[in-house]
Amino acid sequence: MRSTTVLPGTPGSPPAAGEVPLHRLEVAGPGAPPFAAGSFEAVGPLSRWDRPHRHTFYEIVHVSAGSGTHVVDLARWPLRPPHLAVILPGQVHHWEGGRGPEGTLALFTDDFLVDHPRDREVLRELGERCWFALDPEQDRWVRSLMAELVAEHRERAPGHESVLRSLLHVLVVRAARLPGRAGTGRDPRAQGRPAAVAEAFTRLITRPEAATWSVRECADRLGVTPHYLTQAVRAATGRPPGRLLIEARAYQAQRLLAHTQLSVRQVAARTGFADPAYFSRFFRRETGSSPGDFRKHHSRPHQSLEAPPAHA
């Protein structure tokens, strides 16, 4: 993702119309590692922001106290600490209601995972589940690892970057062992090429632009034939890729309706429908409600994410 980090004091850019605000990782200075760790207070007020936004970086959060709800995309996770949360670059999230979270955060970009590139795949799997309740023993080791990350980041002793990468790797590996995680945790390359193609397809269709793609276009992007893609996805999921694309399309429409003020016509266009009436029929069939009813139920006044109107 372009320009994933900024220097302290760099002003943020206002979002374009229909886009969710994008936060970049603030680093100490030129050449500083793309990593930060600290309490919610130390990281700053945006760490508890109550408006939907997204990041250029990964965020691992240990929630040790607080109340309210953590909203990630369209999923709502009540705060009943202790929790561990994993938010991926590009995911839309915010904190809502209650006393707000207390705890520790570790923030880092893809570039920081240079020593352990396999961690990117594990983090994507963790991000699909996102939210983990911790028992006392799990809470103890998460708290200990997060405290070590914060101390190394704060003290910046010689070799601290290597120590930070090692501690982060341990945190990711141990988080992958937590129950309830989506996926199997196995490396798809060890399962044969069809499984790898199916996993690549499921990642591909999470992109916003995939809402307008066909199975053939996805196959072209993955370098396989549509027939091979269909066989691989059916073998891995039991479902055809066309059905998964339809669900991804409906999900993208839900995100736009819930998190922007785009008109129904604009949402239809962004998800590949030239006819808003046909889009409305599609949306009702897939979700059980009309676009307008869905927006009324899921949107709140403070969630307006459009660029502010220009005043003369």
**Phi, psi values for residue 35, rounded to 5°:** -150, 145
Among 257, 309, 242, CA closest to 287: 257
Among 112, 94, 95, CA closest to 57: 112
What per-residue confidence (pLDDT) applies to 237?
A: 85
Residue 182 domain flag: no
267: Cα separation from own chain's centroid: 21
Q: Rounded distance, CA 143 to CA 150, Å?
A: 11
Q: Rounded distance, CA 257 to CA 294, Å?
A: 8
Joined tokens for residue 89: 């670059």
Residue 83 domain flag: yes
Same domain, 16 and 146: yes
Same domain, 143 and 252: no
**Structural domain that includes position 101:** 5-175
Residue 312 domain flag: no
Q: What size, in residues, is the chain?
A: 312
**Contact by Cβ (8 Å): 180, 186:** no
What per-residue confidence (pLDDT) applies to 191?
A: 39
Express each pLDDT in 227-274 by its tens digit. 889 998 988 888 899 999 999 999 889 988 988 889 999 999 999 999
Same domain, 9 and 101: yes
Domain boundary among 147, 175, 203: 175
- H helix count then E strand count, the chain: 11, 12
- Examine the pLDDT at 165 and tell me if it is beyond 90: yes
The tally of domains found in the chain comes to 2
Residue 181 domain flag: no
Q: Rounded distance, CA 108 to CA 114, Å?
A: 11
- Examine the pLDDT at 137 and tell me if it is beyond 90: yes
Same domain, 84 and 204: no
- Examine the pLDDT at 181 and tell me if it is beyond 80: no
Same domain, 201 and 242: yes
Residue 310 domain flag: no
Same domain, 31 and 162: yes
- Examine the pLDDT at 303 and tell me if it is beyond 70: no
**Contact by Cβ (8 Å): 239, 195:** no
Q: Which amino acid, residue 305? A: L
CATH number, domain at 162? 2.60.120.280
Among 104, 92, 1, 110, CA closest to 49: 92
Express each pLDDT in 224-239 by its tens digit. 888 889 998 988 888 8
Express each pLDDT in 52-73 by its tens digit. 899 999 999 999 999 999 988 8
Any long-range contacts for 119-123 (C-beta under 8 Å, 24+ apart)?
119/168, 119/169, 119/172, 119/173, 121/187, 121/188, 122/172, 122/173, 122/176, 122/185, 123/58, 123/86, 123/88, 123/172
Residue 184 domain flag: no
187 pLDDT band (50/70/90 cuts)? Answer: very low
pTM: 0.65
How many C-beta atoms surround the C-beta of residue 39 within 10 A? 15
Domain boundary among 149, 175, 201: 175
Same domain, 20 and 163: yes
Residue 75 domain flag: yes
Same domain, 137 and 64: yes
Same domain, 157 and 199: no
- Examine the pLDDT at 22 and tell me if it is beyond 60: yes
17 pLDDT band (50/70/90 cuts)? Answer: low
Same domain, 102 and 53: yes
What per-residue confidence (pLDDT) applies to 266?
A: 93
Residue 252 domain flag: yes
The answer to whether the Cα torsion of 255, 258, 260, 264 is positive or negative is positive
What per-residue confidence (pLDDT) applies to 276?
A: 93
